[in-house]
Structure 1
Amino acid sequence: MNPLRRLICRAALLAAPALVAGTAAASPASPREGAEYQLLPEAQPTDGPGKIEVIEFFAYYCPHCYTFEPYLADWVRKQGDDIVLRRVHVARGAQVAAQQRLFFTLESLGLLEQFHGKVFNAYHVERVGFTQDEQVFDWASRAGIERARFIDTYRSFGVQAKLRRAQAMMEAYRITHWPMIAIDGRFLTSPGMVGESGKISGDDALQGTLQVMDMLVARAKADKK
């Protein structure tokens, strides 16, 4: 078995069967700090003045991130100009380094919107490994990206700086599992948190996360007035 296949996203609640039914301690409709979301001890600087910054910490190999992606994309479309979305591919050792570098290369080339979903599909559906640089280069060529330009960017100081920045952000935001959503540099939520708190899983946890995100965006807007 490919060693990368054995990597487990820590938000495993999404793949688990629903827990025994009962009265939930909280719900996405009335989220509580420490349950469906957390407040960071120190607010982090944000980009996108005039808008609410939403950051997704994710990884291409993560099956929960793959499942969450269409939900998040639809949610972002509905927000219109109220938010700005940033994605940060998390670090997870040498086996994920090529995937992380692939993400930041696409971002640097201005190709992320075009190819982000295709990378997810390549890994989870087509079973492209993305564990070695050459696997990434071959995929990029097949996808129609100029190979030499892609490799130059992949190995550039600019991408290396993005990798360092991603690691610093993971530490600053105290990212322990993914997908994890940060809002306005102050709040964190995730399908894992929502699922655990409400004793729900699957689609319920994903939809519940979007509800919590709606509330946190609204709160961030109100705080800025």
Structure 2
Amino acid sequence: MKFLFAALLLLASQLSFASDSFMQDEHYQLLATPPSPNAQVVEYFSYYCPFCYNFEPIVAELKKALPAGTPLHKVPVAFLGGNMAATVQRAHATAGLLNIEDAFTAALFNQIHQQRKPPQNRSDITKLFASIGVEQVQLDAHFDSLPVNSLVTEYDDAVAAANIRSVPSFVVNNKYLVNISAVSSQQQFNALVNYLLSLPAEAETK
């Protein structure tokens, strides 16, 4: 029992040290945006970004490490993807409304980075949706709808408010921008995000 207690104390001290070692302006930046009403993590990304594609397994592990009930939202940016960027944003929003975002994300990343066949037009997007079970009539009913328009506007507004200039970028509670270049492992990444989730809405600078 003594050994178990000592081990627990050691673990607690290590976890405390890990949290204390995260420093503002080194591991994260404090944004001038209002905090989100509820805990959340947002990944700003582009389907055309190879780093974002390679980050997918890391994001999957991060999701598992988040506190129960804490969502991780994916927000596609419009500054990558050329003339297809806006269409892909709209497609992502549509997939979310149809509750098939995960399937759509996997399919589009695969088509762009594995098959090397990025979509060139709306028809290609329609074919992609068909490959994951969405018929054209269902897609057309949502693609240009008001809810999708609103989501795309929210994407662009959020990117502008957080001054996102590179992807992938992760923002916690709409207040803390993670510096992923300062992270050296999955464990450290998970710990940093969870540390930021624990901070007050208006953190004091360190």
Does the Cα contact within 8 Å between 1:179 and 1:190 map onto a contact in 2? no
Q: Which amino acid aligns with 1:68?
A: F
Report the Cα distance in structure 2 between the residues aligned to 1:175 and 1:83, rounded to whole angstroms.
22
1:214 is the counterpart of 2:194: yes
Report the Cα distance in structure 2 between the residues aligned to 1:80 and 1:184, rounded to whole angstroms.
13
Q: Which amino acid aligns with 1:77?
A: K
Deviation, structure 1 residue 206: 5.8
Report the Cα distance in structure 2 between the residues aligned to 1:67 and 1:61, rounded to whole angstroms.
11
**Once superposed, which parts of structure 1, at least 4 consecutive aligned residues long, lie more than 6 Å away?**
none
Sort the Cα spacing of 1:45 and 1:78 in 2 relative to 1 into closer, same or farther, 3 A: closer
| Unaligned ranges ≥5, structure 2 | 1-17
Sort the Cα spacing of 1:183 and 1:43 in 2 relative to 1 into closer, same or farther, 3 A: same
Deviation, structure 1 residue 113: 2.8
SS at match of 2:71: strand
Q: Which amino acid aligns with 2:47?
A: Y
| Unaligned ranges ≥5, structure 1 | 1-26, 196-203
Q: Which amino acid aligns with 1:96?
A: A
> Structure 1 vs Structure 2: percent identity of aligned residues?
23
Matching residue within 121, 124, 131 for 1:142: 131
1:181 — aligned with what?
170
Matches within 5 A, 1:8-157: 30-46=21-37, 49=38, 52-92=39-79, 94-157=83-146
State the TM-score, normalized to the length of structure 1.
0.72
Q: Which amino acid aligns with 1:75?
A: L
Does the Cα contact within 8 Å between 2:92 and 2:104 map onto a contact in 1? no
Aligned-CA RMSD value = 2.5
Structure with the greater alpha carbon radius of gyration: 2
- Cα deviation per residue 1:82-125 (whole Å; 9 max; x = unaligned)? 51221111112523122211111101111113332222122211
2:13 — aligned with what?
none
Deviation, structure 1 residue 28: 9.3
Sort the Cα spacing of 1:152 and 1:127 in 2 relative to 1 into closer, same or farther, 3 A: farther
Does the Cα contact within 8 Å between 1:191 and 1:205 map onto a contact in 2? no
